[in-house]
C-alpha cells in the first residue's frame, strides 16, 4: 500500500495535509495522527470495515476495544446516557488525556467496541487531531499507532517505522507532550473505576468525585485465571525487543545493584541499557545509559519513557535495567507502563 506522509509542527499546521487525511478517513481509510498522549491510528468509528483495517495494520487482538476520539461535547449520538459524574469529568478534563467509558448506542459497531456494550470516549488536546476529526466529519476510533505489543509511538518517525506501507496516511506533528496514554475511567459503574492510569492523575480525578478509585488489578502481575475489566489489561504491552528488569528500592542501593548486574552481563559478553535519571546517570560505571529526565519533573519522565524504550531497540542492547519510580501522581502511569514492558520482572532490594 502507498502511504501518504504529511509532516508539520503542532505550532505550524498545514491544513492541506490535514484535509487530505480527513478525506482518507471519510473514504474508509486509516491514518496515523498526533495526539497529546501518544500517536493514534484512526479510522471512521462508525464504519466496521475501516475499524477492521486498524486491527489488521497493528496486528491487534480482536477483543481489545478502541477509543472513540471526538472534537465536541455532543456525544449523545454515540452513547445511551451520560451520568452526572461523566459530565463533570468531561467539563473538567476535555480536551485532555482522559477516556470515559459509557454504554454505547447501536450505531457504534461491535468491531469498534470489540464486542462490548460499552465504549471509551476521548477529546484529544491537540490541534492537528481536533482538525482531523473536523475535516473527516466523523468520530475517529483510534488505538495507539504502533504494532501491537510494542511501546506506543510519541513521534512521527516511530509511526513511519511501524506503519509505512500498512496504512493510507501518516500525519505528523510535534512529539507527544504527555507521552503515556490516556487515563481510562469506567463511568458505567458506581463508584467510577480507573481501568488504566494515564495523563490525568487519580488525585485530579478525586477532586471531581472523591469516591473514584483505581482497580487494584492494574498494578499487579495478572494471575492465570485473571478476568480483566478492560480487555487491554491482559496483553503483553509496551515491550522493547530486549527484556526489561526493574530494580526497586532505596535509590542508592538501586544504583549499586545495577552497577553489579551490569558488570555481570559485561563479563558474559552482553550489552546492557540503563534507564537512568538526571540525578543518577553519572553514577553508573558502564552500559548504555539514557536519562528519562529529572526526578523533580515526573511529567518529563513520562514523556520520555516510550521513546527511550524504542531507543534501546535501535541500539540493540541484550537487556535493559531500569530504576523504579514513586507511584504518586503521574508516577502511577509511569510504573504501570514500565511494569508491563518488563512483564512484571521486578527485583526488590
Ligand atoms: P490503546 O490505547 O491502544 O491501548 O487502546 C485503547 C484501550 O482502551 C484498550 O486497550 C482498552 O483496554 C481500553 N478500552 C477501550 N474501550 C474500552 C471499554 N469499552 N471498556 C474497557 N476498556 C476499554
Ligand atoms: Mg496501545
Range 4-219 classified under CATH 3.40.50.970: no
Testing ligand 1's pocket by substitution, the residue of 37, 230, 306, 336 carrying the most ligand atoms inside 8 A of its CB is 230
Ligand 1 centroid distance, CA of 182 (Å): 10
d(CA 279, CA 91): 38
Please report, for the chain, the start and end positions of each structural domain, with discontinuous segments joined by +: 4-219, 244-348
| Among 246, 221, 248, 247, residue whose Cα is nearest residue 236 | 221
| Among 108, 4, 95, 6, residue whose Cα is nearest residue 48 | 108
Cell, residue 184: 481510562
Q: What is the pTM of this model?
A: 0.96
Provide the edge-to-edge strand list for the sheet that holds 244-248.
Answer: 288-291, 272-276, 319-323, 244-248, 346-348
Q: Which ligand is nearest to the CA of 37?
A: 1
Mean of pLDDT values over 18-41: 98
Testing ligand 1's pocket by substitution, the residue of 45, 117, 120 carrying the most ligand atoms inside 8 A of its CB is 120
Look over the chain and give the mean of its residue pLDDT values, rounded to a whole number. Answer: 96
Q: Which atom of ligand 1 is nearest to the CA of 152?
A: 3
Is any atom of ligand 1 closer than 6 Å to the C-beta of 198? Answer: no
Is any atom of ligand 1 closer than 6 Å to the C-beta of 144? Answer: yes
d(CA 248, CA 44): 43
pLDDT score of 233: 75
DSSP 341: H
d(CA 199, CA 208): 16
**Taking ligand 2, which is a single-atom ion, which protein residues have CB atoms under 5 Å away?**
143-144
SS3 145: coil
Ligand 1 centroid distance, CA of 308 (Å): 24
In whole angstroms, how large is the CA radius of gyration of the chain? 20
The pLDDT > 90 percentage for the chain reads 94
Atom 21 of ligand 1, nearest CA residue: 230
Span 165-183, pLDDT tens digits: 999 999 999 999 999 999 9
d(CA 57, CA 199): 26
Residue of higher predicted confidence among 224 and 308? 308
Atom 19 of ligand 1, nearest CA residue: 119
d(CA 257, CA 242): 19
For residue 84, the cross-strand partners are none
Mean of pLDDT values over 319-331: 98
| Among 44, 46, 48, 45, residue whose Cα is nearest residue 29 | 44
Cell, residue 145: 499507532
Is any atom of ligand 1 closer than 6 Å to the C-beta of 119? Answer: yes
CA atoms within 13 A on the CB side of 63: 7
Ligand 2 centroid distance, CA of 170 (Å): 17
Ligand 1 centroid distance, CA of 299 (Å): 22
Write out the DSSP string of 61-105: -TTSPPEEE-SSS--TTTBS---HHHHHHHHHHSSSSEEEEEEBP
Range 244-348 classified under CATH 3.40.50.11030: yes
pLDDT score of 92: 98
Provide the edge-to-edge strand list for the sheet that holds 98-103.
Answer: 4-7, 169-172, 31-33, 40-44, 140-142, 67-69, 118-122, 98-103, 183-186, 193-196, 213-214
Mean of pLDDT values over 189-196: 97
Testing ligand 1's pocket by substitution, the residue of 37, 38, 51, 65 carrying the most ligand atoms inside 8 A of its CB is 65
Query: Is 244-348 in the same CATH topology as 4-219?
Result: no
- Cβ 264 vs Cβ 140: under 8 Å: no
What confidence tier does 337 reach under pLDDT thresholds 50, 70, 90? very high
pLDDT score of 329: 97
Amino acid at each position: 500500500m502507498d502511504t501518504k506522509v504529511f509532516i508539520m509542527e503542532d505550532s505550524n499546521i498545514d491544513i492541506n495535509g490535514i484535509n487530505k487525511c480527513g478525506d482518507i478517513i471519510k473514504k474508509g481509510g486509516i491514518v496515523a495522527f498526533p495526539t497529546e498522549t501518544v500517536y493514534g491510528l484512526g479510522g471512521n468509528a462508525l464504519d466496521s470495515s475501516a475499524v477492521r483495517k486498524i486491527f489488521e495494520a497493528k496486528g491487534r487482538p480482536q477483543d481489545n476495544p478502541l477509543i472513540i476520539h471526538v472534537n465536541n461535547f455532543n456525544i449523545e449520538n454515540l452513547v445511551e446516557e451520560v451520568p452526572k459524574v461523566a459530565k463533570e469529568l468531561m467539563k473538567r478534563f476535555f480536551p485532555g488525556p482522559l477516556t470515559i467509558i459509557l454504554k454505547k448506542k447501536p450505531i457504534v459497531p461491535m468491531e469498534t467496541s470489540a464486542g462490548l456494550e460499552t465504549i471509551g470516549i476521548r477529546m484529544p488536546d491537540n490541534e492537528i487531531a481536533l482538525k482531523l476529526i473536523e475535516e473527516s466529519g466523523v468520530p475517529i476510533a483510534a488505538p495507539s499507532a504502533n504494532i501491537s505489543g510494542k511501546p506506543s509511538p510519541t513521534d512521527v518517525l516511530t509511526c513511519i517505522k511501524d506503519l509505512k506501507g500498512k496504512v493510507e496516511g501518516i500525519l505528523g506533528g510535534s512529539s507527544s507532550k504527555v507521552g503515556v496514554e490516556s487515563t481510562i475511567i469506567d463511568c458505567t459503574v458506581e463508584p467510577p473505576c480507573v481501568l488504566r492510569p494515564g495523563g490525568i492523575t487519580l488525585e485530579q480525578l478525586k477532586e471531581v468525585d472523591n469516591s473514584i478509585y483505581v482497580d487494584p488489578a492494574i498494578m499487579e502481575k495478572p494471575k492465570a485465571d485473571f478476568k480483566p475489566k478492560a480487555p487491554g489489561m491482559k496483553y503483553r504491552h509496551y515491550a522493547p525487543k530486549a527484556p526489561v528488569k526493574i530494580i526497586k528500592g532505596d535509590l542508592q542501593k538501586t544504583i549499586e545493584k545495577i552497577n553489579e548486574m551490569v558488570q555481570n552481563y559485561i563479563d558474559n559478553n552482553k550489552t546492557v541499557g540503563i534507564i537512568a535519571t538526571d540525578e543518577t546517570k553519572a553514577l553508573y560505571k558502564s552500559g548504555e545509559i539514557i536519562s528519562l529526565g529529572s526526578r523533580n519533573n515526573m511529567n518529563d519522565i513520562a514523556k520520555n519513557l516510550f521513546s527511550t524504550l524504542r531507543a534501546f531497540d535501535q541500539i540493540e542492547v541484550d537487556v535493559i535495567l531500569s530504576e523504579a519510580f514513586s507511584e504518586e501522581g503521574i508516577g502511577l502511569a509511569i510504573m504501570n507502563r514500565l511494569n508491563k514492558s518488563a512483564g512484571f520482572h521486578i527485583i526488590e532490594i
